Amino acid sequence: MPKVTVLVRLKASLDDAQGRVVERALRNLGYDKVERVRIGKLIEVWLEDGVNADDAIQQVEEMCRQLLANPVVEEFEVRLE
């Protein structure tokens, strides 16, 4: 069963408010070497056996454009495991 991993994160040009909150919290906990934090999400999709690699990637990229990521504010990276 092919597994495809998707990493979704805010576009680099956008402010990551959640990342800033976590960054400050880490510094408050004593991790003073932390310079920047960005928060994203990891999505794992398992497809039926027999799906070839190119089709798997293409299908999951389509899923990202339609549902898994917001193309206005997010970018995504698809990896076949």
**Which 8-state DSSP code applies to residue 13?**
T
pLDDT in tens, 9-58: 999 999 999 999 999 999 999 999 999 999 999 999 999 999 999 999 99
- Rounded Cα distance between 78 and 81, Å, is 10
Beta bridge partners of 10: 74
Q: Is pLDDT above 90 for 81?
A: no
What is the assigned CATH class of domain 3-80?
A: alpha beta
Long-range contacts formed by 51-54: CB under 8 A, 24+ apart: 51/2, 53/2, 53/80
pTM of the prediction?
A: 0.85
